[in-house]
Structure formats: structure tokens, C-alpha cells
Structure 1
Amino acid sequence: MAGSNSTVQQRRGGAGKFFREMKAELKKVVWPTKKELINYTIVVFVTVIFIAVLIGIVDGIFSKLFELLMHLVG
């Protein structure tokens, strides 16, 4: 039972300890500069647009193939 008692004591101090540790970790973070943030955002937008176009093209191809298949079968 002594082992479970120490576990309960470690859990106490919970919220305050959590926020203190969180604050300490956030001080270690290297935040991007404004220029880096803008560049990263542009990269994400371009990537999303590229993937959307790629999926649209593949979807169109499969749609035409399905229509052709249904026309041949039916």
C-alpha cells in the first residue's frame, strides 16, 4: 500500500505543477519569425492546392472510366 500512497502524493499539486512546467517548456520553444511564418503558410497553401488539383484530376479520370464501363455494360 505504501507504493500507491506515493503515487497519490505525486498526483497532488497537479494543476499548479502542470502549468508551471508548461510555462517552462514554452520558454524553450524557438518561435518562427514573421517572415518564416509567412513562408511556411505559403508552402502549406500551395501544397493544399496542388493536392486538391491532383485529386480532382484523378477523380475525373476515374469518373470517365466508370461512365465508359457503365456504357459498355448497360
Structure 2
Amino acid sequence: MSNNKNFLQNVVSEMKKVSWPTGQETVRFTIIVVITVVFFLAFFYALDLGITALIDLL
């Protein structure tokens, strides 16, 4: 039981050291992730269309 208590104390201690992002940083990072996902979606969609067109030619 003391191991669990010690573990929880260590978790609380470490969580106090965490540097959480601000709201503005969270919004900025979310926008970056969405833009990156959309870019790769379009890239792989175009790649898929190209490969499909090549296969249809054969």
C-alpha cells in the first residue's frame, strides 16, 4: 500500500512541474496539425489518382 501512496505522491510532484500550453499556443498548434493533415490528404489523394490512371493504362 505504501508503494501506491509513494507512486501517487511522485505523480503529483511531476505533474506540478509540467508546463502546459496557453490557449493561444493550443489554437496555433491545432491549426498547424489540421493544415498538415489536409496537405498530406491532398498529396496522397493525388498520388492515388496518378497510380490508378497508370494502372488503367495497362
Whether the TM-score (by the shorter chain) exceeds 0.5 is yes
Mapping for residues 1-74 of structure 1, pairs under 5 Å: 13-69=2-58
Segments of structure 1 that go 5 or more residues without pairing to the other structure are 1-11, 70-74
Deviation digits for residues 9-43 of structure 1 (CA, Å, limit 9, x no counterpart): xxx63322221111111111111000000000000
Q: Please list the CA deviations of residues 16-74 of structure 1 after superposition, one character each: whole Å capped at 9, or x if unmatched.
A: 222111111111111100000000000000000101110100000000001111xxxxx
- The number of residue pairs the alignment matches comes to 58
Q: Which runs of 4+ in 1 moved over 3 A?
A: none
The two structures have a TM-score, normalised by structure 2, of: 0.90
Q: What's the RMSD between the two structures over aligned residues?
A: 1.1
> Unpaired runs of 5+ in structure 2?
none
Q: Give the whole-Å Cα distance in 2 for the aligned partners of 1:17 and 1:54.
A: 50
Percent identical pairs in the alignment equals 33
Using the alignment, how far apart are the partners of 2:45 and 2:33 within structure 1? 18
